[in-house]
Structure 1
Amino acid sequence: MSSARLTRRRVMGAGLGALASAMAGACTACSRNSGPARRLLLATGPEGGPYNAFGTALAQAVGASGSRLRIVPVSTSASVDNLHELDAGSVDLALAMADVAEDAALGREPFARPTAVTALARVYVNYTHLLAPSDGPVRSVGDLAGRPVAAGAAGSGVQVVAGRVLREAGLGDGPSPARERQLGLAESARALREGAVDALFWSGGVPTPALTALSRGLGLRFVPLDGYVGPLRERYGPVYTAVTIPAGAYGLAEPVGTLGVANYLLARTDVPQAAVRELLTVVFDRWGDLLREVTAGARLEPRFAISTGRVPLHGGAVAYYRSVYG
């Protein structure tokens, strides 16, 4: 998706329900906090996806807190799209995968120049999934040579990490590249079920509900990706980590090593420090509610939240962490 400014219809369609919930929750606090409200647009992801779920939960939590802030989640294609929207001034806040956020901060492809972006917190870790039918031919990344693979929607962080894994495996170009198809999660699952693709990439929490549903009707093989952690860290830095999809998730009999990528809550540099501090107060008070629908067992801790690599913390975030944690 391009970085064109958001239309009124897009904002209202994506955020009206969450804004209504936020306003309703805030009404009980009107007598406690009579200052003017500040509305912040938050670029999330596709409707039904984890970023959208997090954004909706955050809007509701902020509304119920009595804060003067009003968070309006905006549906997007996710990470890459979100950074373009943030850079264009179309939104105030965004969620994005750490590798894409660093690409934006450094002006690295797919961004033509450095973007003035700041981090509020590292909120949770995505697990990169590479799934194929258990009775199919794909047992390793190399087996994708010449085969169709769902590699994430255009403008998503999934597309970035999938492309990097494929290039590292020598399948980004050359005589027999993987045939990447730009599909979102729901479309990817449907294409795999119908045999239109031989595998799908996804980056998200564990378990991802759509993949749990897919596993109930289709025998799946989870292809290990931990062998790509070292090469990708050498090329792109420590935004990539080794993680394990545990036994039991999706009915797995054994754990599967894969590639982890953190997710950041980001802001434009001109968002007021006071607004950032108010927002982070809610995030840390209600992190359990915010992460419940995103990834099982995740915790939000300050020592990890401030680890945002080469994306600098917003001044308001620095002030918040110093005031609360010293």
Structure 2
Amino acid sequence: MLGLGVGGLAALLAGCASQSGPVRRLRCATGPQGGPYHAFGRALAEAVTAGDHRLEIVPVGTSASVDNLRRLDRRSVELALAMADVAEDAVHGRAEFSRPIPVRALARVYVNYTHFVVPAHGPVRTVRALAGRPVATGADGSGVQVLAGRLLRVAGLTGDRAVRAQRLGLAASVRALRTGTVDALIWSGGVPTPALSELARVVPLRFLPLDGFVGPLRERYGPVYSAVTLPAGAYGLGEPVGTIGVGNYLLARADVPEPAVRELLQVVFARWRDLLRDVTAGARLEPRFAISTGGVPLHPGAVDYYRSAYG
């Protein structure tokens, strides 16, 4: 060190400082405590902390998708998780959003499975049989509520056939179904969702088939919806049940610097097993899947990351 002289020592210290650099703090809007978005955000923060990164991820509890996009717009967070249908609404300034929000996608991280749940020993065997009945349709500000409203509309449960919608989050929905306050609950999340697995151990459940509504949903709202299957064995199911799938996006404000996005995606792809462990079983995160963000444009930093990492 002494042999370097003043100029050499200054250059060395400058090099060390530029390599370490300041830590960039990114707040990530997730979802309610105990939900899959919250689990993903917490795991992402832990993965970043465990590595030698110039990032800090701060999970922020929210009501989920709609609330998250609004927080991005208000600039109170830099990152967010949201369902694909809500994210596309935000980009185009429609439905819950009065104007377009300049949001960019980093990755499609996993697929939600729609759960339309009723007691197995009850009288309800189809979605349309719920006309006039109380149904838990998701919390205010959640993507579940958006999807539930669209599903009920294409099922013809409007006007004098409308369900009596109860705007409840997952925990409250589970309690309401268990006590008989509602006749059904709608949930969109990974498989298995722990709260529903716990409920299935004490209350026999029936999962209503929804695959027949995928076509009408796509015709009316676009290709963000797909046909997926709840597998046999999940929640004690004796056979698979067709349902509706919708992707979940990791999003950022358009002004988040490209180097921060590239570094974050390095963590996401290196640690995806840890990120998805408590969110959805059996999922994989692959580049060809991750870049499928529909009408939500990729962040330039994400484009650069995928090109440099995968060609």
Amino acid in the other structure paired with 1:213: E
With over 3 angstroms needed to count, the CA separation of the structure-2 counterparts of 1:145 and 1:292, relative to structure 1, is: same
Given that 1:33 and 1:67 are in contact with CA atoms closer than 8 Å, whether structure 2 keeps it comes out as: no
Q: How many equivalent residue pairs?
A: 296
- Of 76, 94, 115, the match for 1:90: 76
Aligned residue in 2 for 1:292? 277
Q: Cα offset for 1:33? A: 5.4
In the alignment, what sits opposite 1:154?
140
With the length of structure 2 as denominator, give the TM-score of the two structures.
Answer: 0.94
- In structure 2, the residue matched to 1:206 is 191
Runs of 4+ in 1 over 2 A off after TM superposition: 30-34
Secondary structure of the residue aligned to 2:41 is helix
TM-aligned CA distance change 1:248 to 1:32, over 3 Å: farther
Shift in Å at residue 113 of structure 1?
Answer: 1.1
Unaligned runs of 5+ in 2: 1-15
Q: Which residue of 2 aligns with 1:42?
A: 28
Alpha-carbon distance in structure 2 between the residues aligned to 1:138 and 1:202:
17
Aligned equivalents of 1:168, 1:179: Cα separation in 2? 16
Given residue 33 of structure 2, which amino acid in structure 1 is its aligned partner? E
Of 137-146 and 275-284, more deviation after overlay is shown by: 137-146
1:110 matched to 2:110? The reply is no
Q: What percent of counterpart residues are identical?
A: 73
Match of 2:114 in 1: 128
Separation (CA, whole Å) in 2 of partners of 1:152 and 1:244: 21
- The 8 Å contact of residues 273 and 316 in structure 1, kept in 2 or not, is answered as yes
The correspondence of residues 1-326 of structure 1 with structure 2, limited to 5 A, is 34-171=20-157, 173-326=158-311
1:51–1:149 distance in 2 versus 1, CA, 3 Å: same
Distance across 2 between alignment mates of 1:107 and 1:263? 19
Normalising by structure 1, report the TM-score. 0.89
Q: For structure 1, which segment, 229-238 or 250-259, has the greater mean C-alpha deviation from structure 2 after superposition? A: 229-238
Contact conserved, 1:287 with 1:300, CA < 8 A, in 2? yes
| Mapped partners of 1:253, 1:141: distance in 2 | 20
Q: CA deviation at 1:31?
A: 9.7
**Partner SS, residue 153 of structure 2:** helix
Question: Match of 2:152, as an amino acid?
Answer: L
CA distance in structure 1 between the aligned counterparts of 2:22 and 2:208, rounded to whole angstroms? 52
The SS at the match of 1:175 is helix
| Distance in 2 of aligned mates of 1:176 and 1:229 | 21
Distance (Å, rounded) in 2 between the aligned partners of 1:123 and 1:52: 14
Q: What is the aligned partner in structure 2 of residue 19 from structure 1?
A: none
| 1:200 match: secondary structure | strand
Q: Which consecutive unaligned segments of at least 5 residues does structure 1 have? A: 1-29
User: Alpha-carbon deviations, 1:161-207, whole Å to 9, x = none?
Assistant: 11101011121x31131011110100000000000000000000000
Q: Residue 305 of structure 1 aligns to which amino acid in structure 2?
A: A
Look up the equivalent residue of 1:212 and give its one-letter code: S
Cα distance change of structure 1 residues 58 and 31 upon mapping to structure 2, 3 Å threshold:
farther
- d(CA) in 2 for partners of 1:97 and 1:310? 12
CA RMSD of aligned residues (A): 1.2
Q: Give the whole-Å Cα distance in 2 for the aligned partners of 1:188 and 1:53.
A: 19
Once the two structures are TM-superposed, the CA of residue 32 in structure 1 deviates from its matched residue by: 11
Pair member with larger Rg: 2
